[in-house]
Amino acid sequence: MSEFSSLREMSTGLAKGDFSSVELTQEHLSRIQKADPSINSFITVNPENALAHAAQADQQRAAGDQRPTVGLPFAHKDIFCTSGVLTTAGSKMLSNFIAPYDATVVTKMAEAGMVSVGKTNMDEFAMGSSNENSFFGPVSNPWNTDCVPGGSSGGSAAAVAAGLVAAATGTDTGGSIRQPAALCGITGLKPTYGRVSRYGMIAFASSLDQAGPMTRDAEDAALMLSVMAGFDHRDSTSAQRDDSWLAELAVKGIPELDQPLTIGLPDEYFRTSEHMDALEMAKAELQKLGHTFKHVSLPHTESAIPVYYVLASAEASTNLSRYDGVRFGHRCENPQSLQDLYERSREEGFGQEVKRRILTGTYTLSVGYFDAYYLKAQKIRRLIAQDFTNVFAEVDLVLAPTAPTPAFKKNQLTDDPVAMYQQDLYTVPTSLAGLPAMSVPCGFSQGLPMGMQLIAPAFREDLPLMLAAQFQRHTDWHRRRPGDAS
C-alpha cells in the first residue's frame, strides 16, 4: 500500500484482507511521526485511540460489515469538538480545552467505522489564508516547505498532500477548504450551506461556516461527503434533503456523466495571468470530453471581499464573545476584577488576526454604523447570490480559478492583512451565496500546484463531483506528488 493510496484503494485492500485496519493505522501513525515534524500539519496525534478504533473496525469487518468506510484512517481539522481529546481551533484560548461532547461530523465518521488518527493544524478560529495564524506554529507546504499551504484548513491540506493521510475533514467560511486544497494540489469540496451539520464545529461566522472533505480525488470526496452530510436537528440551519444519492455514490462510486455540460466562464474571474496556462489546459481537456463553454458575468464579484469582511467579522465578534475566561478556555493569572478577567483573558488568549477581526466586527456593528456596514453588506450579499441565480439559468456549472496565486512564501503577506484577504477573491462569492464549490488540481505554475474551481447551484454537489471524476479519469494532475517533476 503506497503512502499516496486513496481511501477507495485502501478500502478495497481492507475488503480483500490484504491488510488490517490496525496495520494500516500503524503505518499512518509512523508516517506522521517521521514526516510531520518538517510540516507541522498536526496539533494532536492520537495513537492509542486510533489503534483502539482500528481494532474495533477489524472486528466489525470480520463480523461481516461491508461498508466501504470501515477501518479507513483519516484526520479531523482541529475545529471539530472531540470528547476526551484536545480541541484547540489553533488558538491559545482553547489550548487546554477538552470538549465534553462530540461534533455531529465526528459522531458520523466514527459510526461509519472511520479511524481518526489525530487533529490537524489550522489558522486560529479558521481566520486566515496561510495557516500562519496558528498558536501551534505555521504549517509548511509539502511542495515547497518555504511556502504556506493556504488556510485556514492548511494542516488538513498539507497532511493529505504529504501522504500522511488520504483524507481529512476541513471547514470553509470564505474559502478555507478550497484555497488550501488548490495550494497543496489536492481535491477539496465545500458543500452547500446546510448540507453538513455545524453542531460541535467551533463557530467563526455562522451564516457562512460549512464543513467538507479534503481528499486525493473526487471519488474519495464523494465517499467522505456521504458520511459527513445529512440532516441534524441539533443544527438550526441544517437542511432536510433526500441524501439517498450520496449513499449510492458511497457504494457504487461516482457514475459517468451521461450528457455534456454547459460550463460558464465568468469574465470577472479571469483577470489575473498566473492561472491562465493551467486553466486553459483544463478547459481544452473538458472540451475534448464534449463540454461546451459560455462566457458569463457575475458583476458584483469585486464587492464580495468587502461584504465578506463585514459579515464574517461581525459574526465572529459575536461568536467569540463566549470566550470570556469564565466557563472554559484560557483565564489570565490573578484577575483583579471581572472586567480585568474578561479583558486580559481575551487579550492573552487571542492572536493578532482574531483580535483584528473582533475589532472590525465590533466597529461595523456599533450604533450609528450598523446600517452603513452590516445592513449594506447583507443587501449586496443578495445581489451576489442573485448574480449566481441568473448565471445558472444559462449554464450547468461555473468554472473559475480557486485562488489568485499559487502558494506564496511564508511571511510574504503577514504584515499586510488586506493583501492576505485578496487570497479569498474567488472563493468568497460562493460562500456568500451558500453554493457548493470544489477545487480540483489542474496543473502547475512555478512548480507549484494550481486548482480549478467548479461552482454549482445549491444542493447540486453531484455536478462538480461527476465532472471532477470525469476530468480525473482523463488527467493525472491529482496523482502528482511533492517531488515529482511538474
Catalytic residue check, 20:
no
Q: Kindly write down the DSSP assignment for every residue of 253-313, as one continuous string.
A: -PPPPSS--EEEEEGGG---STTHHHHHHHHHHHHHTT-EEEEE--TTGGGHHHHHHHHHH
How far is it, in rounded angstroms, from Cα 14 to Cα 22? 10
Catalytic residue check, 152:
yes
Site size toward another protein, by CB under 8 A = 80
| CB of 144 or CB of 378, closer to another protein | 378
Residues in the chain, overall count = 486
Contact pattern from residue 149 through residue 188 relative to another protein, giving x for each residue in contact according to CB under 8 A and a dash for the rest: ----------------------------------------
Q: Is 411 in the site for another protein (CB under 8 A)?
A: no
How many alpha carbons fall within 13 Å on the CB side of residue 10? 29
Q: Is 378 in the site for another protein (CB under 8 A)?
A: yes
Q: Is 350 in the site for another protein (CB under 8 A)?
A: yes
Residue whose entry in the numeric block shows the C-alpha cell 479511524 = 115
Query: Is 391 in a helix, a strand, or coil?
Result: helix
Piece of the chain touching another protein by CB under 8 A; list 124-132, 212-220, 367-375, 475-483: 367-375
Rg (CA), the chain: 21
| CB of 22 or CB of 433, closer to another protein | 433
Catalytic residue check, 38:
no
| CB of 214 or CB of 239, closer to another protein | 239
Residue numbers 17-36 binding another protein by CB under 8 A? none
The one catalytic residue among 152, 156, 197, 345: 152
- DSSP state letter for 140: P
Q: Is 80 in the site for another protein (CB under 8 A)?
A: no
Residue numbers 268-327 binding another protein by CB under 8 A? 300, 302-303, 305-307, 309-310, 317-318, 321-322, 324-327
Query: Do residues 348 and 118 lie in contact, with contact meaning Cβ atoms separated by under 8 Å?
Result: no
Q: Is 365 in the site for another protein (CB under 8 A)?
A: yes
Residue numbers 201-260 binding another protein by CB under 8 A? 207-208, 233, 236-239
Contact pattern from residue 381 through residue 410 relative to another protein, giving x for each residue in contact according to CB under 8 A and a dash for the rest: xxx-x-------------------------
Burial class (CB in 10 A: 0-12, 13-18, 19+), 328: middle
How far is it, in rounded angstroms, from Cα 350 to Cα 346? 6
- Provide CB contacts within 8 A for 447, sequence distance 6+: 143, 144, 486
| CB of 70 or CB of 354, closer to another protein | 354
| CB of 142 or CB of 436, closer to another protein | 436
Known catalytic residues are: 77, 152, 176
